[in-house]
Structure 1
């Protein structure tokens, strides 16, 4: 009986986790649309990571909607400001890589740009977890995201591997992306980021 009880508890945990991921994905879509898409996607993503962070850290049930809504509302302007910087930098690097490949055609320059793109990518990976966990000012969010990304290579590589695995899972099972794709991507990123944060904070204490 204890064995069966353990199985049912395990199945319940899986079902509860899937339900939460579906709910968070729906909230992300709705609040992205609420901000007319372009103005809603970054605040909705920031709210998603804040909600996941609180869920993992406190390990207890709270109102997911209230946590998500509160984060979205309080961080709307701030998140959009950083979103402009992130998107603008990404577009700038994309144009540079395109011009380098099609016009300049310098192998060294192209390699340098690809390295910069990699650093940009891992910085963005950590940006939302840092934004969710810490109260910083100005470019400190971006600076800390970059420093943590390069100082914790295990967690950074683990994030990238998880995203690659999920990418192929979504190709073979696209319905997962439709109903819980964003939250499925965010959970492992936040989990490994928190592992990195805890490791750094323990060394400082």
Structure 2
């Protein structure tokens, strides 16, 4: 009987978790579209990570919409400003890589750009978890994200592995990407980032 009760509880908890991540994903989609995509994706992503962060730090039963909308509204301008810088850097590096491949064709330049792109991607992994956890001066969000990525290499590698596993999961079950994609991607990133923050703060 204990085994059956435990099984029912596991099924209930899993269903509850899946329902909430699906709801959070659709909030992310709706508010991204409300911001016309370009102006909505950064604040919606910040709100997404904020809710997940509160799940991890406080309570899984927090009011999702209230917390999501509060962050989306209060951090709309700030998250967009930072997001445009991230997007701009990404476009700049993409263009530089194409120029290197097609015109410069130097192994050392190409290698240098690959290293810069890799470090840029590491910074992105932690950027929104850092944004929703800390209140920092504008450009310190980039510095802190980069610092955590290097300071906690195990969590950083775990994030990268999770992204690869999710890539193959979505290829196998693309319906998951439609119904819960953003939440399923953000959850392990937020979880490992939260572990990294706790470890670093504990040492400090």
Counterpart of 1:119 in structure 2 is 119
CA distance in 2, matches of 1:59, 1:152: 25
Q: Secondary structure at the match of 2:39?
A: coil
| Shift in Å, 1:107 | 0.5
Counterpart of 1:30 in structure 2 is 30
Counterpart of 2:189 in structure 1 is 189
CA distance in 2, matches of 1:83, 1:9: 40
| Shift in Å, 1:89 | 0.4
Q: Secondary structure at the match of 1:163?
A: helix
Deviates more, 1:169-178 or 1:58-67: 58-67
TM-score, structure 2 as length reference:
0.99
Counterpart of 1:178 in structure 2 is 178
Q: Secondary structure at the match of 2:114?
A: helix
Map 1:6-45 to 2 at 5 A: 6-45=6-45
Counterpart of 2:136 in structure 1 is 136
Q: Secondary structure at the match of 2:61?
A: coil
Counterpart of 1:73 in structure 2 is 73
Superimposed CA distance per residue, residues 75-118 of structure 1 (whole angstroms, 9 cap, x where no aligned partner):
00000000110000000000001100111000010001000000
| Shift in Å, 1:62 | 1.1
CA distance in 2, matches of 1:9, 1:174: 28
| Shift in Å, 1:55 | 1.0
Q: Secondary structure at the match of 1:169?
A: helix
| Shift in Å, 1:201 | 0.5
Superimposed CA distance per residue, residues 40-64 of structure 1 (whole angstroms, 9 cap, x where no aligned partner):
0010000000010011111341110
CA distance in 2, matches of 1:180, 1:111: 36
Would you identify which runs of 4 or more consecutive aligned residues in structure 1 move more than 3 Å? none
Unaligned runs of 5+ in 1: none
Map 1:74-93 to 2 at 5 A: 74-93=74-93
TM-score, structure 1 as length reference:
0.98
What is the total number of aligned residue pairs between the two structures? 204
Q: Secondary structure at the match of 2:83?
A: helix
